[in-house]
Amino acid sequence: MASSSVVPKAYRLLNAVPTVETARSIVYNVNRADSFYPNSSFNALERKRYLTLAIADCEQLMLDMQCLMDIGLPVNANRFEELAAMVEEEIRLLKGARKNVRVTGKKSTEERIAEAEAELERLRSL
């Protein structure tokens, strides 16, 4: 998007900067999701949450590109089609990753429930 053959120079600050920030947010959310190892239900939920935010950022990126096309700028449509295909593939991969998040570890379900109940009692006593 930095080239005038993709987006005219007069519109770069208005449209390209928010688009780049959205792309950075995708990377941020994916990295944040990966920092939560799903060895507890909280970590699994946090991982899913950040993957969902990354998916939402991908959708916003698609809307930003659609906006550039809709306002009638002389933009390179072929370049945007390639980007749209890449973003759609990223959405598909992120949804698959979110769907496959499972609590992992050596503890049984009963042990996890007992630990959660003990933690709940500890918090109530505070």
DSSP one-letter string for 22-33: HHHHHHHHHHHH
Average pLDDT, the chain: 85
Counted domains in the chain:
1
Residue 92 belongs to some domain of the structure: yes
Looking at residue 26, what is its pLDDT? Answer: 96
Residue 66 belongs to some domain of the structure: yes
What's the CA gap between 44 and 97, in Å, rounded? Answer: 12
**pLDDT tens digits for 70-95?**
877 766 778 788 889 999 999 999 99
Q: Is the pLDDT of residue 68 over 60?
A: yes
Q: Is the pLDDT of residue 116 over 80?
A: yes
Residue 19 belongs to some domain of the structure: yes
Residue 2 belongs to some domain of the structure: no
Domain coverage including residue 28: 9-124
Indicate which CATH number applies to the domain containing 72.
1.20.1440
Residue 97 belongs to some domain of the structure: yes
Stated pTM of the model = 0.76
